[in-house]
Amino acid sequence: MIWLMQMLHVENTTELAWVIFGLGAQLMFTARFLVQWIASERARSSVVPVAFWYFSLVGGLMLLAYAIYRTDPVFILGQLLGVLIYSRNLWLIHANRKG
């Protein structure tokens, strides 16, 4: 585990856990593009499935938590705005399905 901590430039296990969490968050956020790509290929047209917005929201929230932990105001602002946009898109999708 020491080699991993050295490679990731962390000094303790708490930092290591947060870096691993941040990497997982980035993977979650990146997965949304795979979901969108697969859905578009299947439809043979550019589509944005609802799962894209869920991956965006979860990945964005995870990245926001990581940014808050790192106390990076630029990263926090960027993720906070994204989370609001993803939430609003999901709200609109579900509101249209009810009506």
Return all residues near 19 (Cβ < 8 A) that are at least 6 apart: 8, 10
Say what the pTM is: 0.86
The full DSSP string for 35-92 is HHHHHHHHHTS----HHHHHHHHHHHHHHHHHHHHHT-HHHHHHHHHHHHHHHHHHHH
The residues spanned by each domain of the chain are 2-98
What pLDDT is attached to residue 99?
Answer: 64
Tell me what the mean pLDDT of segment 76-95 comes to: 96
Q: What's the pLDDT tens digit per position in 24-68?
A: 999 998 999 999 999 999 999 999 999 999 999 999 999 999 999
DSSP structure string for 17-32: HHHHHHHHHHHHHHHH
* Confidence at 79, pLDDT banded by 50, 70, 90: very high
Mean pLDDT of 91-99: 89
Q: Cβ atoms within 10 A of the Cβ of 10, count?
A: 16
